[in-house]
Amino acid sequence: MRVDWHSHVWEPRHLGPTWGPELDANVGAHPSRDGSWEAHQLAMAEGEIDAAVVVALVACEIDLDIPNEYVAEYAATHPGRIVGFGSVDPADPHAVARVHHAADLGLRGLKLSPPYQGFHPHSDAAWAVYTAAADRGLALMFHQGGVFLRGGALEYAQPILLDRVARSFRDTSIIIAHAGQPWSHETAAVMFKNPNVWTDLSARYGRPHQLATILRGLTDYGVGERVLFGSDFPIYTPADCIRQLRDLVLSPPAGAPPVEPPLVDQILDARPLSILFPDLHPALSAERKDPS
């Protein structure tokens, strides 16, 4: 089963006056315009993706709001193939209630972003969100790493800050997005001591030397089996990401540590939804090319 563990859908109006324009300027394209449900389905089919995790994101201070309802509605149109993650901002006084509402919508996790949302991962408000998520059996995905937004708070972004979260909520699955770059060795250390922590490689494929180094660090720590494929669509497409990941084996960058073919194969095709959600059955690979 091939799963894209990190993707987005959105309408341009969801992205607010700051995040969307700065995203487009950083990428050199216009992903703010390309996040429709239809575009997502076509991109997943092109990449032969069996199932995808689609994440919402809200940051009150910058008027970024990809609504939980929007993601839940999309997931409901493709049960078993689209898994929705909601988002809440701990700064929202109704954050805990919104966690429960996300669970009631059928969403299976929460996307949190300390550097975009501007909160310390150990704050009381954040802890209340984690507790509610744990009570409802939701996974947690953190954007814990570098950001393009000029107003982003890197002081809250280091993956090592999630060690306390992981050891306090041991029954909650935690995904550190983007391998936690530029602190990928911190990510590996957090994963090594906390078996409930995973990482995805989304948005890392365009820097092959960095990616090869990240993978070596993760395998040296013995946590390669908890590395997930993710594209970060619509910023990137799964097909391009898969090609760039396979190129690490076919055309390794000069001076980079070698990447073994079995690791790439396992990351792409041996991370079914059931590893985090045992009740979700694998989609049929024969459906891969059907965008509907």
Does residue 282 belong to any structural domain of this protein?
no
Distance from C-alpha of 229 to C-alpha of 174, rounded to nearest angstrom: 15
Q: What is the pLDDT of residue 292?
A: 41
Tokens linked to 167: 């050891």
Q: What is the pLDDT of residue 263?
A: 97
Q: Which of 46, 285, 67 is nearest to 54 (CA)?
A: 67
Four-residue CA torsion sign, 174, 179, 183, 188:
positive
Does residue 207 belong to any structural domain of this protein?
yes
Tens-digit pLDDT string for the chain (292 aa): 999 999 999 999 999 999 999 999 998 789 999 999 999 999 999 999 999 999 999 999 999 999 999 999 999 999 989 999 999 999 999 999 999 999 999 999 999 999 999 999 999 999 999 999 999 999 999 999 999 888 899 999 999 999 999 999 999 999 999 999 999 999 999 999 999 999 999 999 999 999 999 999 999 999 999 999 999 999 999 999 999 999 999 999 999 999 999 999 999 999 999 999 999 865 444 344 444 4
The residue range of the domain holding 242 is 3-275
The model's pTM = 0.95
CATH code of residue 58: 3.20.20.140
Query: 29: which DSSP letter?
Result: S
Does residue 292 belong to any structural domain of this protein?
no
Does residue 283 belong to any structural domain of this protein?
no
SS3 292: coil
Tokens linked to 49: 């993706």
Does residue 281 belong to any structural domain of this protein?
no
Tokens linked to 100: 């429960």
Query: 281: which DSSP letter?
Result: P
Distance from C-alpha of 185 to C-alpha of 213, rounded to nearest angstrom: 10
Q: Into how many domains does the chain fold? A: 1
Does residue 289 belong to any structural domain of this protein?
no
The residues facing 64 across adjacent strands are 59
Q: 114-137 b/e with 16+ CB inside 10 Å = b?
A: bbbbbbebeeeebbebbebbbeee
| Torsion angles phi and psi, residue 110, rounded to 5 | -130, 140
Does residue 288 belong to any structural domain of this protein?
no
